[in-house]
Structure 1
């Protein structure tokens, strides 16, 4: 699977804007990400097999899960402060709150995202090569004015992202009820790039729809040094 990269100058360096091209048919038709629990009656196929660490998965169970669902790789979701032994079979761990699990899965399910601004599963795999432990953050706003929504949400999002230290990889998902104009995308991207001083950080963007009327949201996972 290949993708196009559109380079945009930023103070002498470039940032990668990734747009999908031709994908393997299997990866087109299979959900990019799905959540699995040990007691499920049905284990549908997915490319990124996600599981909640506190559900008690061990290495053998994870190996069986990966084979059963045909996953290319596995991602663990940590919803508490418990310790978990790092396993080679797991591509990465995303820390989030219990009520944010569905949001993480939706963010990673890039096959359902907009193809106007989007990434593919190969890019997600590259993102997880930036580190082992990721943090999840999100911000949203509702209102009548689209420009105000984008500004309020972006400011809230940036204030959360500013608490991170030396970000190595960042994936941002934008949500709106309709297709975003490129100006909105550029506003978010400019704010993110102004914050990040590390020239080597890999930044990926995607957009998807939401059922919430007059709303705009940003979701992200990032790896720190």
Structure 2
């Protein structure tokens, strides 16, 4: 494993944070996210990584333009402009519950496995909770149709209360049943939402 973070660093430093090119505040983060179209160059990214003491830089691409590939960038995640905060929230695994046991090292290991990633998300509302879990899961599976042969995936689940093991099993079995690559690395996280009667799923997958 390339990345070995001591417990004090994981506990005291946010896992992920978003930085804009015109920001004046650079709090530390283990995963430093930036929007590629903000006009970052290699020198500015080197300075960003040093200032925030990040282990890895992750570019968020919100358009269809082609950008210069820089070795300093650990990976590029494609998402919609209004999904930027959702991506960062997913990568910030410090906020996840410990029932699944994922940590930032798992996320970095996934980012190391590819260069290009895709973000997708879906949700469902209503009662009972089991129905919203099934509906959101079916929606996510349809969005992941092109990811059946991916090398790796990270899935975040968000509900108003702790997710029952039955619901967790339903989601994981559906996702793992979709994938055809037996060597794929799949990571899950679960956290709480303040939105009643809702269930949210977010995923990042390698699409190199």
What interval of TM-score do these two structures reach, taking the shorter chain for normalisation?
over 0.9
Counterparts of 1:9-88 in structure 2 under 5 Å?
A: 24-88=7-71
Q: Which runs of 4+ in 1 moved over 6 A?
A: none
Q: Separation in 1 of the partners of 2:101 and 2:93?
A: 7
- Give CA deviations for 1:91-145 in whole Å, capped at 9, x if unaligned: 1000000000000000000011111124111111110122100000001001021
Alignment partner, residue 126 of structure 2: 143
Aligned-pair distance for 1:163? 2.7
Counterparts of 1:107-118 in structure 2 under 5 Å?
A: 107-118=90-101
Structure 1 residue 208 corresponds to structure 2 residue 173: no
Aligned-pair distance for 1:46? 0.5
Alignment partner, residue 206 of structure 2: 223
The structure carrying a bigger strand percent of its residues is 1
Q: Separation in 1 of the partners of 2:207 and 2:62?
A: 18
How many equivalent pairs are there? Answer: 205
CA contact (8 A) 1:118 1:207 kept: no
Secondary structure class of the residue paired with 1:167: coil
1:119 to 102, 126, 132: 102
Structure 1 residue 94 corresponds to structure 2 residue 77: yes
Unaligned runs of 5+ in 2: none
Aligned-pair distance for 1:203? 0.3
Q: Separation in 1 of the partners of 2:61 and 2:201?
A: 20
Superposed CA RMSD: 1.4
Structure 1 length-normalised TM: 0.88
Q: Separation in 1 of the partners of 2:207 and 2:63?
A: 19
1:157 to 137, 140, 156: 140
Alignment partner, residue 175 of structure 2: 192
Aligned-pair distance for 1:68? 0.4
Unaligned runs of 5+ in 1: 2-21
Q: Separation in 1 of the partners of 2:6 and 2:127?
A: 37
